[in-house]
Amino acid sequence: MSNGLTNLRIKGIERGKRVYIIVNGKKTEAYEGETVASALWAAGYKKFRTSVKNRENRAPLCGMGVCYECLVTINGIPNIRSCMTYVNNGMEIETDE
Ligand code: FES
């Protein structure tokens, strides 16, 4: 991967069309049908946000829209649940990493 992170996707799995998203300013591979959370995980991102109260690292927990631990900024809109949002080509994502 061009962003220096590890590609954690399982080889040989049939995927949607390859697209590119911009994560913290870096062009990152993703596939149609993936959520933003899964694309970030697959690209090796481990910290999605910082908790307001204790300034702790946070990342997806439930993966189904309940816990709100996966919030990121997408196309300039803050606090979007990355586990509930599908990637689009050219989407710009910001994490607290
Ligand atoms: S991982 Fe729980 S709301 Fe997204």
Output the pLDDT for position 13.
Answer: 87
Output the pLDDT for position 9.
Answer: 85
Query: In the chain, which residues have pLDDT < 70?
Result: 1-5
* Terminal Cα distance for the chain, rounded: 18
Hey, what amino acid is at 78? P
Output the pLDDT for position 11.
Answer: 87
Which of 61, 72, 85 for a ligand 1 pocket mutation test, highest count of atoms within 8 Å of Cβ? Answer: 61
E-state strands within the chain? 18-23, 26-31, 49-50, 57-58, 71-74, 77-81, 92-94
Which of 40, 41, 48, 62 for a ligand 1 pocket mutation test, highest count of atoms within 8 Å of Cβ? Answer: 62
Output the pLDDT for position 5.
Answer: 66
User: Domains, the chain, ranges and CATH?
Assistant: 18-94 (3.10.20.440)
**Pocket, ligand 1, Cβ cutoff 6 A:** 60-63, 65-70, 81, 83
